[in-house]
Structure 1
Amino acid sequence: MTSRTFSRRSMLQSALAAAAFIPATRSWATTVEPGAVPLPALDGQLLMDPATLAAAAEDFGHIQHRVPWAVLVPGSVQDIVAMVRFARCQGLRIAGSRGIGESHSAFGQAQVEAGIVIDMSALATIHEIGPTSAWVDAGVRWHELLQAALPAGKSPPVLTDYIELSIGGTLSVGGIGGQAFRWGLQVDNVLEMDVVTGEGELVRCSPWQERTLFDSVRAGLGQFGIIVRARVRLVDVPPRARTYIALYNDLSRFLADQRCLIEDGRFDYVEGAVVASGGGWAYQLEVVKYFTPGAEPQDATLLAGLGFQPGTLQVTDGSYFDFANRLAPLVALLQQLGVWEFPHPWLDMFVPAHSAEAFVQEVLSQTTDADMGQGPILLYPFRTSKLTAPFLRAPADTHVFLFSLLRTAIPPTPEKVAELVQKNRAIFDRLTAIGGKLYPVDAVPMSPADWRRHFSPYWWRFDLAKQLFDPARVLTPGQGIF
């Protein structure tokens, strides 16, 4: 048990815990009254105090506010099994795979109105660090796994830019970062999982065992099962990282250089961003080479042929961990200023490379600094040949660009949020018209018809998996897919 889990459970000891469910009034009771159905025996607690429910009605987006009836703080995997079975019998809904406050839920995806939210951060044990993999609870954060693996010179092959996300949370969506061009997404680097299905069955799945469930749960948006443990691939990493940052004023050359770099593999990490410059936009390349002291990278060789603007290159060295955790100081500052709690109507898109230049220019021509609220705009490619999860939908192109408008609503008013969400929807419609796909963690209103188009041509598989693993549709209603 981690100290974070212990302290959280200690704080909740005095919270109001449910002992029974009253079907007639669809409410909870602290004692077993006449007509009430006793809860199954739990190692943890089912909480229903106002403060806990209010916290569970929020997510990183701070746009949707759906208040559950209770929050399960599980003391064991068996608690999740028991509560899913109980919910199924009583016609309740459950939002699982929730790491409280994660940025991979910006529009109520992990919320459930009048149902049960599972606080997965209560299950956060690293059970094993081996030479090629780690066996961890779903509530473990990526930075915790990285800290545990680095003394042996190991790391997960792909890390999101912000590594405070939970392992179960990103495996339910995808998990993308600057190493994705080489390794695929985080869902492409999970080797096996323990999953509680919508029928309350605890199943171990992998490419060799229960393959249909394995492929359904990876990037399955929590629709088929709750990931409770995962075996994550580990790879050898050098201890140092050299970062190169440079600016382009030519979008076409910027995109071409990025595509060249992910094909020739000279760098270990390739990302990029759009930055405000002189009333317009410039394009920032960020690439990294990992190395061992005494075998420093050859800068001239690595940078040969790149078309960035002379005089804009910045080169810095640091530890591998400090590079992976580079956003922590910025997030701490935003939290201190209170901006981290502002609404975040984010928009993450997968854009086919053949349409990327025209689409990016079109969107940027309609985007202002005020639309972003000082939030970053990410733009970098990966290769679709590295994708193995069928429900991680990407355009049909060899290269795909992640194009992310990571907005903060300033001022944080309902009117400003509504304006930005409306703009997101308009951009999404254009994205769909060019064959792009949404990375579905964002503030975009989606109808069931939109979801069918999103999963096309695999919608029939998605729908069948729901019938197989969650026929009562207990799990994760916040997406609005069914």
Structure 2
Amino acid sequence: MTRPHRPSRQPEPGATRRAAHAFDAVPPLDGELCFDEAALEAASTDFGGLIHRRPAAVLKPGSAEDVATMVRYCRERGLRVAGRGQGHSTQGQAQVPAGLVIDLGTLNSIEIRDDTATVQSGALWSTLVRATLPLGLTPPAFTDYLELSIGGTLSAGGLGGQIGHYGTQVANVLELQVVTGEGEITTCSPTLRPDLFRAALGGLGQCAIITRATIPLVPAPQSVRFYTLTCPSVEALTAQQAELIEDGRFDYLAGQVQSPSPEGWTYVIEAAAYDATSMDDARLLADLGHHTAVEAQDLDYFDFLNRIAPLVETLRSIGEWQRPHPWYDSLLPASSVNGVVTETLANLKAAALGASAVILLYPILTAKCTTPLPALPDAELAYLFSLLKTASPGADSAEEMVAANRVQYDTTVDAGGRWYPIGSVPLTPADWEHHFGAFWNEFKAARHRYDPDGILTPGQRIF
């Protein structure tokens, strides 16, 4: 039976009020420091809807200098701080009980020069691509949902269907401006403070808050030929995806396992060729042998990139988008993906997913992912396997879904996999050390160097 979900609420209101007094002597700011109920409540939760931790104040910065000023201010007073983009995490990662949440949405400027875009971290990817397309340009790599902030996805890693050609979003960054845990505004790149650059990209806000990024741009296509290929099994889907990502014929490659029908699960490959038409179908599809059906459609490039937005609006309209989302995202080596996915699906009941769940399964060429984070399996070919759950009415409770995620995490680790850390899994310090693997010592050193008092992003619970 479904139990009512009660978000974790801490600290008690008295503690929040006491902490708010610590902000009585704030220096002048370009933006606004907020204590109103609406701002505090918005910063107290996230897309997951599972954790509720109330900050003492919310900063809506008018400049990177505001961010630096308030980080220094909080450090001096022993208060903790986290940057927040769209709040799309699902386990309270950007929440700070009785501390300061920095709402980076007010830092949203975009400057395009030649073949680069310099973008403040609160800008959305949808806004950026709308700015670049009139110039015939586009960022090379996207997540499938564009209404996420630049800083948010760069702090996590940024996985999407273009990964076979361009790698992760963090592999497509030329330079960052960040504010460290000491309250210093600094620039880092592969040659300038490279240790900070490596630790900030995909670093979950542990060493610095990203305030600006310089991103390369590439020529934008006009249109997209988008194919949906149905496969008879997990093995057929992953084998076909492996062939396609290796030969690079498609510009975008992803996949889904769709909810079971009376006949069982449906396995779907999504593949896109830029500026292709029906005349290219034979060239792109003729030698493929693992699928049983093909559908094709032609889309405008932006409509292709933004195709998830109408689905999200539908989910909002029926209340599903507002329900708890105990998501689970994992990265599995090719050697174990079929076994893990097959066993998971065999034991998965509809109530464990919720009415609007999505299951993702698509390949990653790890050589294209040229930054040390996000942590990937030790394999040339890996697969993203995501269980994007919703605690819908009649489904398992959010708490039961989180407990199931922990079991799935242990299965992932046993199979040589890694977790993509945006979801809802309770991890121990030992889990985190294993997660970061060979990069752990460098990451820990960067944390001590750039956030020596450990005030940044406590919601990740890494240190």
Q: Given the two structures, how large is their TM-score scaled by the length of structure 2?
A: 0.93
Moved more, 313-322 or 272-281: 272-281
CA-based RMSD of the aligned residues comes to: 1.8
Aligned position for 2:179: 196
The answer as to whether partners of 1:71 and 1:118 remain within 8 angstroms in 2 is: yes
State the match for 1:43 in structure 2.
30
The residue aligned with 2:78 is: 91
Deviation, 1:208, is 1.6
Aligned partners of 1:54, 1:412: CA distance in 2, in Å? 27
Post-superposition Cα deviations, 1:411-455, rounded to whole Å, max 9, x if no partner, equal 289x70111111100010010111100000000001111101101
**Which residue of 2 is the match for residue 28 of structure 1?**
20
- Decide which of 238, 241, 249 is 1:266's aligned counterpart: 249
Q: Kindly, what percent of the aligned residue pairs are identical?
A: 47
Residue 397 of structure 2 aligns to a residue in which SS? Answer: helix
Note the alpha carbon deviations across 1:307-361, whole angstroms, 9 max, x for none.
Answer: 3544x31110010000000011111111111111100000000000011101110
Q: Distance in 2 between matches of 1:207 and 1:459?
A: 19
Residue 20 of structure 1 is matched in structure 2 by: none
Picking from 135, 152, 159, the partner of 2:118 is 135
Q: Equivalent residue for 1:181?
A: 164
> Counterpart of 1:27 in structure 2: which amino acid?
A
Distance 2:273 2:261 in 1: 27
> Deviation digits for residues 12-48 of structure 1, max 9, x if unmatched?
xxxxxxxxxxx9984335xxxxx98510111111111
Match among 317, 320, 343 for residue 298 of structure 2: 317
CA contact (8 A) 2:16 2:98 kept: no
Instruction: Return the match for 1:440 from 421, 432, 450.
Output: 421
Q: CA deviation at 1:305?
A: 2.3
Question: Please, which runs of 5 or more residues in structure 1 have no aligned partner?
Answer: 1-22, 30-34
The secondary structure found in structure 1 opposite 2:51 is: coil
Equivalent AA in structure 2 for residue 170 of structure 1: T
The residue type paired with residue 87 of structure 1 is C
**Alpha-carbon distance, 1:279 to partner:** 4.8
Describe the superposition over 1:84-128 as per-residue Cα deviations: whole angstroms up to 9, x where unpaired.
0000000000011x11332xx1000011111000101011111x2
| Maintained 8 Å contact 1:57/1:66 | yes
Aligned with residue 423 of structure 1, among 400, 404, 407 = 404
Deviation at 1:404, TM superposition (A): 0.5
**Cα gap change, 1:266 to 1:281, in 2 (>3 Å):** same
**Aligned to 1:383, which of 365, 382, 391?**
365
Map of 2:90 onto structure 1: 106
Q: Is 2:56 the partner of 1:69?
A: yes
Deviation at 1:50, TM superposition (A): 2.0
Cross-structure match for 2:344: 363
Q: 1:290 aligns with which of 274, 290, 299?
A: 274
Paired residues of 1:254 and 1:307 also in contact (CA < 8 A) = no
Q: Which of 194, 197, 200 is equivalent to 1:214?
A: 197
Query: Per the alignment, in what secondary structure is the counterpart of residue 28 of structure 1?
Result: helix
Offset from partner CA, 1:124-174 (integer Å, 9 cap, x none): 111x21332100110010010000001122111111000000000000000
Asked if the contact 2:16–2:56 (Cα under 8 Å) also holds between the matched residues in 1, the reply is no
Who is 2:384 aligned against?
A: 402
Q: TM-score w.r.t. structure 1 length?
A: 0.90
Count of residue pairs brought into register by the alignment: 447
CA contact (8 A) 1:342 1:412 kept: no
